[in-house]
Structure 1
């Protein structure tokens, strides 16, 4: 018995899809992707990169679909829903799914910043593939090398330098310094001429990256660059608690020094080790902000050290802020060590609702005169 032509046609894996493509609408399994027909510009942030949350949202829909139907069905998906072409491409590039791109039409028409995205995500194979496969439509800018450098992706930085012409900005070295990637700094310094901004040293110091800071210093010495970095570099390192960085700067860049902000900030953060070191090795000293800040955050051990070794003292703000933040031990100490002033005690009393503090302040108030 011969198979009827209609049955033969409907059972043909080659003919039925050809017929179906002339029908209106989309396949049932593709209906969830109608919701992704929003402007692609909504997926991007101000820097030009895609929002992580947006890509996760796309992945929630697309990943299980690909696992169920296979990547070969992507070509039909983009034929039925043309807007899905760019969505799938973004998904593949963002997550590094190199195996998906061959299943999509070769032409890239929308000029999405795909190389920028792949570089920022650290997908070196994707960067190489996009560069070698597409002659247009894979937007690349200085953002590619800048973000690759910021994340320490040296292989991508090297590839972009040797194979692309977009280059980078000083943000590449600045962000490499900020995140401590001395190897990236060394490559950029040797092969590029954009250089770093004055903020690079401060960023490295703030985040405690001694290796990056040491490289920047050594590079300046090699160039014969004797310009000062400024006191803010050691200030930031001290405030953030990076004693090894402070000691390096003290030894190798004595002319830059620091300001009173270093000791003030270390005291406010409660870093007694830093406070002690700065007191013993630096001459900038501090202001009343040191004790005021320590009192505000309840750092009694720092208060005791400053009281014993320095003479800047504190202001009425010390007692008031300690009372406001319920630091009973600090309030008690201040009342014992500092002669209470009536108006200051009264101001502190107005700041607190802590029973023990209110009791101590009322006792002190009774012993003071206007």
Structure 2
């Protein structure tokens, strides 16, 4: 520290870099000292409170409270990173507030307490992105919490589609139980990624169905049980694509299964049918 005043006097612009480093690392004494140094005027226009919130440094943030700028990014990033204490402080002591990204990001990373606080104390709410992110990461309790409060405004088929793609059967069941929609992508991408339990659930409980991509995806990935299931339940198939995908990836037994019973005089490219 004894060399710091000389350094700042020679190059005041260096203050911004040093101050940001001190904030990020929670160097309380250094931050306090720099606030009182003339070089601080080079930094005062920066949103330093945002940086302290991002770093989770509440003690430093308290020092900066009366000396630095803050934006909605402060609460947004604190929500993303799970810093509930910082959210409390910003809510009760600042006026910048947050955006809907705060709850979206908290939902993505499953910060239940933060979402509950934002729901109770703030009015911004969230968007369908929060629901999609929670569903795609398997946060079933978060999905239920968001839909219970904001179901009318955040409902989207992409939430169930994403849960199916990533294999979260419990989330799929939750979304289905809450009346959420999906598209054919749900079945198609469950087949691609081998989520057989989800494929069977969708077949039994939904009516969106699938496209020919379902069989082609399953064949490409070598998911034999799913291919047999789709065939036994007469899902549509583009046989040329499905067989080519299976052969390309070395699934020759599966490719043979797909062509069993097909008239060998008919070119595969003419076949896009139920089998």
For 1:122, the equivalent position in structure 2 comes to 56
- Within 2, Cα distance between the matches of 1:95 and 1:233? 38
Kindly indicate whether residue 117 of structure 2 is the aligned counterpart of residue 187 of structure 1: yes
In structure 1, the partner of 2:272 is none
Deviations 1:277-319 (A, max 9, x none): 2112222222211101111222222212212234323431111
- 2:8 aligns with 78
Match in the other structure for 1:320: 244
In the TM superposition, what is the alpha-carbon distance from 1:226 to its structure 2 partner?
Answer: 4.4
1:113 paired to 2:39 = no
The alignment's TM-score, normalised by the length of structure 2, stands at 0.87
Larger radius of gyration: 1
Distance 1:270 1:280 in 2: 17
Q: Mark the CA change 1:290 to 1:72 in structure 2 (over 3 Å): closer, same or farther.
A: same
Q: Distance in 1 between matches of 2:146 and 2:155?
A: 11
Alpha-carbon offset, residue 167 of structure 1:
0.8
Query: Is 1:238 aligned with 2:164?
Result: yes
Instruction: Give the Cα–Cα distance (whole angstroms) in 2 for the partners of residues 181 and 338 of structure 1.
Output: 54
Structure 1: which 5+ runs fail to align?
1-70, 346-370
* 1:147 pairs with 2:71: no
| Residues 1-370 of structure 1: pairs in structure 2 closer than 5 A | 71-104=1-34, 106=36, 107=38, 108-109=40-41, 110=43, 111-131=45-65, 134-135=66-67, 138-220=68-150, 226=152, 229-251=155-177, 253-254=178-179, 256-336=180-260, 338-340=262-264, 343-344=267-268
Deviation at 1:228, TM superposition (A): 7.1
Q: Provide the rounded CA distance (Å) in 2 between the counterparts of 1:75 and 1:328.
A: 73
* Gaps in structure 2 of 5+ consecutive residues: 270-275
Question: Using the alignment, how far apart are the partners of 1:339 and 1:128 within structure 2?
Answer: 77
Note the aligned Cα RMSD (angstroms): 2.2
Find the aligned partners of 2:265 and 2:76 in 1 and give their Cα distance. Answer: 57
SS at match of 2:209: coil
Partners of 1:143 and 1:338 in 2: CA distance: 60
**Alpha-carbon shift at residue 72 of structure 1 (Å):** 3.5
User: Once the two structures are superposed, what CA deviation does each residue of 1:65-101 show, in whole Å capped at 9, x if it has no partner?
Assistant: xxxxxx3332232223323211110111122222322
Aligned to 2:273: none
Greater RCO (CA < 8 Å, at least 6 residues apart): 2
Distance 2:22 2:189 in 1: 46
